[in-house]
Copies of this chain bind each other. A is one copy, B any other.
Amino acid sequence: MATAGAPLAEDRAVSQTVRAELMLRDLILAGEIRPGERLAELAIVERIGVSRTPVRAALMKLAEEGLLEAIPSGGYAARAFGEREVLDAIELRGTLEGLAARLAAERGASSTALDRLRDLLARLDEAVARIAASEDAFTLYIDLNAAFHREITRLAASRVVERQIERAMSLPFASPSAFVRAQSESPEAGRILILAQDQHHCIVDAITRREGARAEALMREHSRLAGRNLAMALRSRAALARVPGAALIQIRTE
Cβ-based interface call for A164 (8 A): yes
Is B92 a contact partner of A161 (Cβ separation < 8 A)?
yes
Is A95 a contact partner of B96 (Cβ separation < 8 A)?
yes
If A60-B57, A95-B95, A99-B92 touch, whether A160 touches B167 (CB-CB below 8 Å) is no
Interface flags for A179-200 (1: CB within 8 Å of B; 0: not) read 0000000000000000000000
User: What secondary structure prevails in chain A residues at the interface with B?
Assistant: helix
Instruction: Give bound CA distance, A35 to B49, whole Å.
Output: 38
Among listed A83-91, A109-117, A124-132, A233-241, interface-contacting one = A83-91
Cβ-based interface call for A168 (8 A): yes
CB-defined contacts of A96 to chain B, threshold 8 Å = 95-96
Copies in the complex: 2
Cβ-based interface call for A64 (8 A): yes
Is A160 a contact partner of B99 (Cβ separation < 8 A)?
no
Cβ-based interface call for A75 (8 A): no
Contact partner of A89 (CB less than 8 A), chosen from B95, B160, B168, is B160
CB-defined contacts of A88 to chain B, threshold 8 Å = 158-161
Is B158 a contact partner of A168 (Cβ separation < 8 A)?
no
Instruction: Give bound CA distance, A85 to B161, whole Å.
Output: 9
Q: Which of A163-182 contact B (CB under 8 A)?
A: 163-164, 167-168, 171
Can you sample 12 A-B contacts with CB below 8 Å?
A57-B60, A66-B160, A85-B158, A85-B159, A88-B158, A88-B159, A88-B161, A95-B95, A95-B96, A96-B96, A164-B164, A164-B167
